[in-house]
């Protein structure tokens, strides 16, 4: 009699090793750069390194480039000044002993103003019943002003100091206020005046740490130019005295609101207006005066606008604090705030904050000394004596833009051993820009990035020279769908990549990643 064969007991599905490939989506770090969160806890949308990318919150976009605007200037361009008077607008560049009109592009012409002792100027547009003026000073030369057609030297009556001691100018409540170099005394003119008798405002008894007045700024507590506007006086020792009122000569119309400590400032242009707030560039980062006045604590870091990149900011300050070029500027057309951070006498990086996401990144390859907005465009002065138009095109004056990032460490949802197989970057571009990448595992800094793919950044398909099915027709974006082999074995994974782009926009949305659970068989 036949009997049925006994079946071997089957392992439950949960106990079987899963040798099949799994697939997951890894988002691009579109929320920006983070040097402060422990690397094992970094959110998936932040990056450990983020150079030349803009963190828009939805995707990463390689920044735009720059192009030559005016060439042939002798010496570094240390100041750009925009004169705006109705339809009469002029852009000036100061370099060496001269100031040039650089409104029109091309080779520089003759100097508009010469025989200056320094090119590092403080300036302001100021309108009175007598006209609109660009008023400049530098603490070495006598002040000058431009009225739309000629430069002139204002007639000033100064006591204790001299005209050429005026190192900084600022407009507040219809008055010009001045900083006298190497002193704790301010000067100011009568209302709506560009010349005349300069009254002194001694502040030596106001500050606790001495030093000298470095810069002036305005702070709005009501979001505009109103009764809640304050004058902020910053010293070289990091103290800010905040004043309210309209007339320093009248005790009933002028009052000290308070004195606050923000930390050691960097550079001679440390203030930047950020909406209704006032930022100060210090060795500890970009500080919010509003938050300092509101009593923000050191532990919470609420007063440090750049808190999320504090380590990188402090390192840059240690390396470059002795060089000129530290300044910041808001660029409304780009939704960006830029802090220029010189690294040497001829090179600089920029810390960049996106207005919408408040995410940070870093620009490299922009060796600029100064920035200015003119006719809604951003211009920069180069250490090579060139004025550049920024955020123009998709190359750096003809050179490729290289953008790099190191993504966060992720367990891909399960802290188990994984073997990586393939990766597909989701990239949108109108040309065959190149991307190289590597996956690193378990907090290792190896392997290095591979060599760039064969071929360089090229134009879109040109009739008669392109390869059908390989090159792209110009004018159309294409999203890549190519899988690449990738290796690595570990519990945590980080994607490290560099993109090289030219001639078209380049955006990164994320990566599709294939892997198996378990080690290699």
Cα(120)–Cα(273) distance, integer angstroms: 20
> Mean pLDDT across the stretch 171-197?
98
247, pLDDT greater than 50: yes
Q: Which tens digit of pLDDT belongs to each residue from 75-130?
A: 999 999 999 999 999 999 999 999 999 999 999 999 999 999 999 999 999 999 99
Q: Which tens digit of pLDDT belongs to each residue from 336-394?
A: 999 999 999 999 999 999 999 999 999 999 999 999 999 999 999 999 999 999 999 99
473, pLDDT greater than 50: no
- Assign residue 196 a region: left if phi > 0, alpha if psi is -120 to 50, beta otherwise? left
518, pLDDT greater than 90: no
Return the structure tokens found at 58.
């939805």
More confident residue, 314 or 435: 314
Going by the DSSP 8-state scheme, the letter that residue 461 receives in this structure is: B
pLDDT value at position 481? 63
Return the structure tokens found at 417.
């051993």
**Backbone phi, psi, residue 401, to 5°:** -100, 125
458, pLDDT greater than 90: no
316, pLDDT greater than 70: yes
pLDDT value at position 1? 46
CATH number of 20-63+404-517: 2.60.120
Return the structure tokens found at 322.
């002795």
pLDDT value at position 453? 80
> Which 3 state secondary structure label does DSSP give 133?
strand
Q: How many helices (H) and strands (E) does the chain have?
A: 2, 41
Contact at 8 Å (CB) between 353 and 328? Answer: no
pLDDT band at 196 (very low <50, low <70, confident <90, very high): very high
Contact at 8 Å (CB) between 435 and 498? Answer: yes
* Least confident stretch, 6-10, 232-236, 315-319: 6-10
51, pLDDT greater than 90: yes
pLDDT value at position 8? 52
478, pLDDT greater than 90: no
395, pLDDT greater than 80: yes
pLDDT value at position 58? 85
519, pLDDT greater than 80: no
Return the structure tokens found at 337.
């705030």
pLDDT value at position 227? 53
Return the structure tokens found at 347.
């090179």
More confident residue, 356 or 478: 356
pLDDT value at position 133? 98
Cα(459)–Cα(346) distance, integer angstroms: 32
> Mean pLDDT across the stretch 265-281?
96
pLDDT value at position 498? 95
pLDDT band at 10 (very low <50, low <70, confident <90, very high): low
Domain edges within the chain: 20-63+404-517
Burial of 262 (0-12, 13-18, 19+ CB in 10 A): buried
How many residues does the structure list for the chain?
521
Contact at 8 Å (CB) between 291 and 303? Answer: yes
pLDDT value at position 302? 83
Sign, CA torsion 313/318/319/324: positive
Percent of the chain with pLDDT strictly greater than 90:
79
Look-up of token digits 């690595």: 488
Q: Which tens digit of pLDDT belongs to each residue from 419-451?
A: 999 999 998 887 768 889 999 999 999 999 999
pLDDT band at 301 (very low <50, low <70, confident <90, very high): confident
228, pLDDT greater than 90: no
> Mean pLDDT across the stretch 393-400?
94
pLDDT value at position 12? 46
> Which 3 state secondary structure label does DSSP give 342?
strand
226, pLDDT greater than 60: no
Return the structure tokens found at 304.
């440090």
468, pLDDT greater than 60: no
> Mean pLDDT across the stretch 33-48?
95
> Mean pLDDT across the stretch 516-520?
79
**Backbone phi, psi, residue 85, to 5°:** -140, 90
> Mean pLDDT across the stretch 59-71?
96
Q: What is the pTM of this model?
A: 0.90
Q: What is the mean pLDDT of the chain?
A: 90
For the chain, the straight-line distance linking the first and the last C-alpha, in angstroms and rounded, comes to 45
Q: Which range has highest mean pLDDT (19-28, 275-284, 428-437)?
A: 275-284
């Amino acid at each position: 009699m036949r009997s049925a064969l006994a079946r071997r007991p089957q392992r439950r599905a949960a106990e079987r090793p899963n040798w099949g490939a799994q697939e997951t989506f890894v988002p691009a770090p579109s929320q920006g750069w983070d040097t402060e969160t422990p690397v094992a806890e970094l959110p998936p949308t932040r990056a450990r390194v983020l150079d030349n990318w803009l963190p828009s919150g939805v995707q990463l976009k390689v920044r735009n480039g720059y192009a030559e605007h005016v060439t042939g200037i002798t010496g570094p361009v240390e100041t750009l000044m925009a004169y705006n008077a109705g339809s009469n607008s002029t852009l000036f560049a100061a370099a060496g002993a001269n100031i040039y009109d650089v409104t029109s592009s091309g080779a520089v012409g003759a100097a508009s103003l010469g025989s200056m002792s320094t090119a590092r100027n403080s300036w302001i547009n100021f309108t009175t019943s007598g006209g609109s003026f660009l008023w400049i000073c530098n603490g070495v030369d006598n002040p000058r002003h431009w009225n739309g057609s000629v430069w002139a030297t204002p007639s000033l009556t100064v006591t204790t100091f001299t005209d050429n001691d005026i190192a900084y100018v600022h407009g507040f409540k219809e008055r010009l206020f001045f900083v006298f170099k190497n002193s704790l005394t301010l000067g100011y003119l009568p209302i709506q005046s560009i010349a005349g008798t300069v009254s002194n405002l001694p502040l030596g008894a106001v500050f606790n740490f001495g030093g000298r007045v470095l810069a002036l700024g305005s702070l709005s507590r009501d979001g505009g130019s109103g009764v809640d506007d304050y004058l902020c006086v910053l010293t070289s020792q990091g103290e800010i005295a905040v004043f309210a009122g309209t007339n320093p000569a009248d005790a009933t119309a002028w009052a000290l609101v308070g004195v606050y400590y923000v930390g050691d400032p960097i550079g001679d242009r440390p203030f930047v207006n950020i909406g209704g707030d006032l930022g100060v560039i210090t060795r500890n980062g970009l500080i919010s005066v509003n938050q300092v006045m509101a009593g923000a604590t050191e532990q919470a870091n609420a007063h440090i606008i750049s808190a999320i990149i504090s380590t990188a900011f402090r390192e840059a300050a240690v390396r470059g604090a002795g060089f000129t070029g530290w300044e910041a500027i808001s660029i409304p057309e780009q939704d960006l705030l830029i802090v220029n951070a010189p690294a040497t006498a001829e090179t600089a990086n920029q810390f960049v904050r996106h207005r919408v996401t408040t995410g940070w990144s870093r620009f490299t390859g922009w060796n600029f000394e100064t920035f200015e907005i003119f006719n809604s465009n951003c211009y920069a002065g180069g250490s090579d004596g060139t004025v550049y138009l920024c955020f123009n095109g998709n190359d750096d004056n003809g050179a490729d833009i290289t953008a790099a990032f190191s993504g966060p460490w992720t367990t891909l949802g399960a802290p188990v051993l994984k073997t990586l197989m393939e990766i597909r970057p989701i990239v949108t571009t109108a040309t065959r820009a190149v991307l190289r990448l590597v996956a690193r595992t378990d907090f290792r800094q190896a392997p290095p990035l591979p060599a760039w793919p064969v071929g360089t950044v090229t134009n879109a398909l040109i009739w008669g020279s392109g390869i059908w099915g390989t090159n792209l027709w110009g004018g159309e974006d294409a999203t890549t769908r190519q899988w690449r082999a990738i290796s690595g074995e570990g519990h945590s994974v980080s994607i490290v990549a560099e993109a090289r782009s030219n001639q078209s926009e380049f955006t990164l949305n994320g990566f599709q990643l294939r892997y198996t659970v378990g080690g290699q068989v």
